[in-house]
Structure 1
Amino acid sequence: MRNYLVASDLSGRSDHALARAAELARGDDDARITLLHVIDEAGPASAEAEDRLRAQAARVVPASVALRCVTLPGDPDETILRLARETGAALILMGVPRPRRFLQGLAGTTAERVLTAAACPVAVVRHPADRTWHRILLALAEDRSALPVARALDRLGLVRGADMTVLHATHLPSPPTLRTGGLSSVSLQRLDNEAMAHLELRLRRRLRPVLKAAGHLHYALRHGAAPTALARMQREDRFDLLVTGARGQGALRRLILGSTSAEMIRNAEIDLICVPVGPLRKPAI
């Protein structure tokens, strides 16, 4: 059974996450949604929270989708992570973090803390689920970490029929930044084209077996920093979902893109899924 764990703060932001889970689960007899609200001192009392959670579920989720509502006391991120482990969640879905005051923001939001510690993929849902996640931007490194991200996406049923673009930002210097060494601009451009084509071929060979069910599969290789390339891609085209991976645990977890998870959550203009792919590599001595 594929279990979607939706963390709700009883706001409209979590309505989006719940609606997306319902859209993913609809038509899948093996899918179930667990809707969780964690009760803390600042929130409503237990009975009121349970009533509001059930009302949210009735308002957003069709009766045909299997769902159970859970209210638990405790620390929000720790409780979400514990229930994800206990239910074997395939995906944790959360709304975008609410604005925080500066001192509160130092500790990060619940979504950021869950993303940096979860053992399963985490979705931060920014938009209403009025259409499927069809146009997917898959931001990957050109190494073995690309495979677990692609496989996780396939296990969630998001690859089949999707219009997917694989984005890789490379640290190879672009021709205008190179010292010519006597080479003409034409020669430099030819060498760059060959290097980029080689990178793309390696990515294609690595990912083809996992992403073969995609409806359309495109590759976009860009020079420079990954966050810059990502922002440009989002401006140039309209995507429904950004998917990337992260290594490490806790405060050490970094997105493969080279940005912190918090920065990615705050800056992404579209829905985001982050997939854990293992520990950070130790630096060479």
Structure 2
Amino acid sequence: MRLLSPGKGDARLSILIYHRVLPARDPLFPGEVDAQDFERQMRLVQSSFNIIPLADAVRALRNKTLPPRAACITFDDGYADNAEVALPILRRLGIPATFFIATGFLDGGRMWNDTVIELVRAAPGPLLDLEAVGFGRIDVASILQRQQAISSLIGKLKYLPLQERQDRIDAMCDHASLSLPDKLMMTSGQVRELHGAGMEIGGHTVNHPILARLDAKAARREIAEGKEALEGIIGAPVRLFAYPNGKPARDYLAEHVGIVRELGFDAAVSTAWGATASDPDLYQLPRFTPWDQGANKFLLRMGRNLLKRAERV
């Protein structure tokens, strides 16, 4: 790893993304990390990389003083299990992390994709009848069929305009008449807890829209209001941002990079795979998620990512 990421002028920064850290394995999503997996992965990264706060990495990239094998840990969206499950592990291991939070779902909200997931999970089966709202009758007799149903519904909804997507989801919920969980996301108190524990809090808009599907005024409002809300919660500046969904040229455009810079953020991260090389764009820092279960394959994936040049707009 030292050969692949020697530091300073030849720096390469690895930034990992997580979303949820479950207390126990979820049969519907067996690949999602639970507490045991997450701690094992953090120990692996700690054994081969220098894990530093993302804000420190940004300053070091600007000054060309990044240490060898530098890595950062980040979380997206603002799930309650980040505070309940991940934070104790991070504190025990002495690992800093950055949490990018969509403020519109705090304190009892639920992200649209989780509504789809929990709707399919709660369906009694063997069929989920969504014909009245345009999605037909969906087989949910087995775990595999439920996984396929979730993937299909999310794929159909993801790139709809924000209001149309929410209207379709509301119609699905009204039609299905199922009880869904309302404590998946953080409370404002948990955001303050993370900040008080020395973790970084970053902006991630209000409603997690695909910025490329909004007009410039609406995109600016989403980014600015999310930043303002978080600063009100933690009583400190929010200087880092994550583009929702985060694919360059598909989910965000050059104009959104400009908006983030104009609003006073120091840096922003995408979800383009790769490592930050010697010519960084601090407003398009790449991130990735190594999914391998075995230790050797996990670290090999980390090494391969160091060699990949990331896409950007």
TM-score by length of 2: 0.25
Higher strand share: 1
TM-score by length of 1: 0.26
Higher helix share: 2
